[in-house]
Amino acid sequence: MESTVDIRGLWYDGMSADLLVLCEKKEYSCHKCIVLPRSKLLRAAAEHPRKKKKGKTVIEIHRKHAEGIEHMLWSMYESNPLVLFEDAKPEAIAGTFKLAVQEDLKALKEAARLAMLRLADGKNGTIDEVSILKVIAEMRGMGTKEMLEKADELEVKWMPKAMKNPISRKMLSQEAIDRYFASVEPRKKTKRPAEDGLEDPTPPPAYRPKSDPHEERFEWPEDVY
């Protein structure tokens, strides 16, 4: 039976903390009795602690977990995991989902899953192309019908912007680009719900197909892909 004691304050003030979790230059004050029983990752790190700091046992977590470790630790103090992602960045949501799966934290996994679905519905505020592509990849990796459909929706919404951004453009697979172009003509005839809120559904000039009336004499540049 889970405890009903409200321990949220311990996360925010760090009172009586006896464990310091380090990850990618960030420090998190925690309590061994709260976090270690729930995480194989933390228990493994605690077997090889660093020197104590201010009376706290210090453990270090690999930087590959940097995007999810904070929300995972926070969730162990928070009674309502849904509030964890109210202002979270997309990469933090994806990183937390990965950790939740790895650590078998079912409530956190479900909260992260719902947060990703909210992204597809445009309910997570301002986000950028690079971050959203990371989340799309994570959603596709889940393999469920619901997540694959939402990943498709996100891709339709963000592909025009992602192709214009030099950084995010490098992250796009040829398959994703081809899939987007294949959907351009059908979507001109029948607008799909996934396009709600799309500012400019027209592909940028460097990516328009030769048949596109916007650019009748367009020649493909050598560095498109």
10 assigned to some structural domain: no
Domains: count for the chain:
1
21 assigned to some structural domain: no
Would you state the pLDDT for residue 61?
97
**Residues of the domain holding 211:** 143-225
Would you state the pLDDT for residue 79?
87
Would you state the pLDDT for residue 120?
65
162 assigned to some structural domain: yes
189 assigned to some structural domain: yes
**Measured torsion, CA atoms of residues 148, 151, 153, 155, in degrees rounded to the nearest 10:** -130
Q: Residue 27: beta bridge partners?
A: 22
125 assigned to some structural domain: no
Give the whole-angstrom CA distance, residue 211 versus residue 209. 5
Would you state the pLDDT for residue 198?
47
Q: Are 63 and 72 a contacting pair, CB within 8 Å? A: no
26 assigned to some structural domain: no
201 assigned to some structural domain: yes
Report residue 10 as tokens.
């311990």
Q: What is the DSSP string of 47-89?
A: TS-EEEETTEEEEE--GGGHHHHHHHHHHTT-S-GGGGGTT--
Residues 102, 103, 108, CA angle at the centre, nearest 5°? 100
170 assigned to some structural domain: yes
How many Cα atoms within 13 Å fall on the side-chain side of residue 201?
22
Give the whole-angstrom CA distance, residue 31 versus residue 16. 7
CA neighbor of 86 nearest in space, from 124, 113, 34: 124
Angle between helices 66-75 and 90-103 (to 10 degrees): 70
Would you state the pLDDT for residue 72?
97
Per-residue pLDDT of the chain (225 residues; tens, 9 = 90+): 444 567 889 999 888 999 999 999 999 999 999 999 999 999 999 999 998 998 999 999 999 999 999 999 999 999 888 889 988 888 898 889 889 989 999 999 899 988 888 876 665 555 678 888 888 888 888 778 877 888 888 888 888 888 888 888 888 888 888 888 887 765 555 554 544 544 455 544 444 444 444 444 434 445 444
Would you state the pLDDT for residue 178?
84
Give the whole-angstrom CA distance, residue 12 versus residue 46. 22
Would you state the pLDDT for residue 70?
96
Sign of the four-CA dihedral 192, 194, 199, 200: negative
| 219: phi then psi, degrees, rounded to nearest 5 | -115, 135
